[in-house]
A and B are shown apart, each in its own frame.
Chain A
Amino acid sequence: MAVRQETVVDALVVDAHAHVFTHDMPVVANPRHNPKYDFTPEQYLEIMDAHGVQFAVLAAGSPWADYNDYMIAALRRYPRLRGTVIVDPAAEKYTLESMARDGVVGVRLSFITMKEVPDLGTFAWRRFLRRLRDLNWHVHLHIDGPRLPQVLPHFEASGVKLVLDHYGRPDPARGIQCEGFQAMLRAIERGRTWVKVSAGYRLGEERVAAYGRELLRTVGADRLLWASDCPFVGDEPATTYRRTMETVDAWMPDSATRRKVFGENALKLYFP
Chain B
Amino acid sequence: MNPAASTDVPAVDSHAHIYTLDMPMSGEAWHKPPADASAEQYLQTLDAHGVGYAVMAAASIYGDYNDYMIDAVRRHKRLRTTVIIEPTTDPYILRQMRDDGVVGVRLQWRSLKTTPDLASPEYQRLLRRVRDLDWHVHLHDEGARLPPAIAHLEAAGVKLVIDHFGRPSADLGTACPGFQAVLRSVAGGKTWVKLSAGFRLKSPQVAIDCARELLAHAGPERLLWGSDWPFAAFETSMDYQAAIDGLKAWVPDPQARQRIGGETAFRLYFA
Given contacts A127-B64, A134-B67, contact A94 B96 (CB under 8 A): yes
**Does B271 interact with chain A (Cβ within 8 Å)?**
no
Query: In the complex, what residue of chain A is closest to B66 when comparing beta carbons?
Result: A93
Q: Which of A94, A130, A159 contacts B65 (CB 8 A)?
A: A130
Number of interface residues of B (CB under 8 A): 19
**Does B22 interact with chain A (Cβ within 8 Å)?**
yes
**Do most interface residues of chain B lie in helix, strand or loop, or is the interface mixed?**
loop
Interface set, chain B 18-75, CB cutoff 8 A to A: 22-27, 63-67, 70-71
Question: Is B27 a contact of A131 with CB atoms below 8 Å?
Answer: no
Question: Is B63 a contact of A123 with CB atoms below 8 Å?
Answer: yes
Number of interface residues of A (CB under 8 A): 13
Question: Is A93 a contact of B22 with CB atoms below 8 Å?
Answer: no
* Closest CB in chain A relative to B32 CB, distance in Å: 14
Question: Is A159 a contact of B24 with CB atoms below 8 Å?
Answer: no
**Do most interface residues of chain A lie in helix, strand or loop, or is the interface mixed?**
helix
> B77-118, CB under 8 A of A: which get 1 and which 0?
000000000000110110011000000000000000000000
* Closest CB in chain B relative to A107 CB, distance in Å: 16
Q: Inside 8 A of A95's CB, which chain B residues have their CB? A: 93
Question: Is A93 a contact of B70 with CB atoms below 8 Å?
Answer: yes
Question: Is A127 a contact of B27 with CB atoms below 8 Å?
Answer: no
Question: Is A123 a contact of B24 with CB atoms below 8 Å?
Answer: yes
> A212-252, CB under 8 A of B: which get 1 and which 0?
00000000000000000000000000000000000000000
Q: How far is the CA of A122 from the CA of B64 in the complex (A)?
A: 13
Interface set, chain A 127-155, CB cutoff 8 A to B: 127, 129-131, 134
Query: In the complex, what residue of chain A is closest to B68 when comparing beta carbons?
Result: A134
Interface set, chain A 90-146, CB cutoff 8 A to B: 92-95, 122-123, 126-127, 129-131, 134
* Closest CB in chain B relative to A132 CB, distance in Å: 11
Q: Inside 8 A of B67's CB, which chain A residues have their CB? A: 93, 130-131, 134
Q: How far is the CA of A131 from the CA of B23 in the complex (A)?
A: 10
Q: How far is the CA of A107 from the CA of B149 in the complex (A)?
A: 40
Q: Inside 8 A of A123's CB, which chain B residues have their CB? A: 24-27, 63
Q: How far is the CA of A131 from the CA of B24 in the complex (A)?
A: 10
Query: In the complex, what residue of chain B is closest to A126 when comparing beta carbons?
Result: B24
* Closest CB in chain A relative to B39 CB, distance in Å: 14
B-contacting residues of A (Cβ < 8 Å)? 92-95, 122-123, 126-127, 129-131, 134, 159
